């Protein structure tokens, strides 16, 4: 009959512990990101695109956690929690290859932490909350605010820039 949101982990967590763990992970990861000078510099500047960055963070948190924690971990659970967690975290890390080896390692470790949160609470909701907080901290502090150039497009200040495979972006003034 199809996959339901419940199948993907959208259910009430078993306790408050997963939310506490997810918040600690988000604060730790965001704290590391805020050590990046350009992120810290731009996090304090108000721009018109910050609202779009927050919306993008919510969408990314929901979609990536649905895939990497909800779908992958749920449908590989017969291999055990450790194996499904490692698979989920590995694929999550590799999906961030455009950030380099450090980005892959960082998101792999984040993926392991969020897999642990899912395994403790049996709900992907705290993972979505954590992921969204992390994306908000980075994306609203990033000079390109919305997406990294290798995500396909960025919004910077009042300009929408579409990056292609050549090194020449097309830009469009949106405000």
* pLDDT value for 170: 37
The segments of the chain whose pLDDT lies below 50 read 143-175
pTM of the model: 0.76
Range list of H helices, the chain = 17-33, 37-43, 50-65, 72-75, 81-94, 100-121, 125-139
* pLDDT value for 1: 62
Question: How far apart are the C-alpha atoms of 89 and 111, rounded to whole Å?
Answer: 4
Question: How far apart are the C-alpha atoms of 31 and 84, rounded to whole Å?
Answer: 27
Q: Is 109 exposed, middle or buried (0-12, 13-18, 19+ CB in 10 A)?
A: middle
Question: How far apart are the C-alpha atoms of 128 and 58, rounded to whole Å?
Answer: 8
């Amino acid at each position: 009959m199809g996959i339901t949101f419940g199948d993907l982990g959208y259910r009430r967590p078993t306790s408050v512990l997963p939310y506490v763990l997810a918040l600690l992970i988000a604060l730790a990861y965001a704290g590391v990101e805020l050590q990046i000078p350009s992120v810290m510099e731009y996090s304090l500047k108000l721009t018109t695109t910050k609202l779009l960055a927050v919306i993008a963070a919510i969408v990314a948190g929901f979609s990536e956690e649905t895939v990497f924690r909800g779908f992958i971990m749920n449908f590989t659970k017969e291999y055990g929690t450790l194996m499904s967690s490692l698979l989920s975290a590995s694929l999550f890390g590799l999906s961030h290859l455009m950030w380099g080896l450090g980005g892959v390692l960082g998101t792999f470790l984040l993926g392991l932490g969020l897999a642990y949160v899912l395994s403790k609470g049996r709900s992907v909701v705290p993972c979505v909350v954590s992921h969204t907080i992390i994306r908000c901290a980075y994306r609203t502090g990033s000079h390109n605010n919305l997406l990294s150039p290798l995500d396909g497009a960025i919004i910077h200040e009042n300009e929408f820039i579409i990056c292609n495979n050549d090194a020449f972006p097309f830009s469009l003034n949106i405000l």
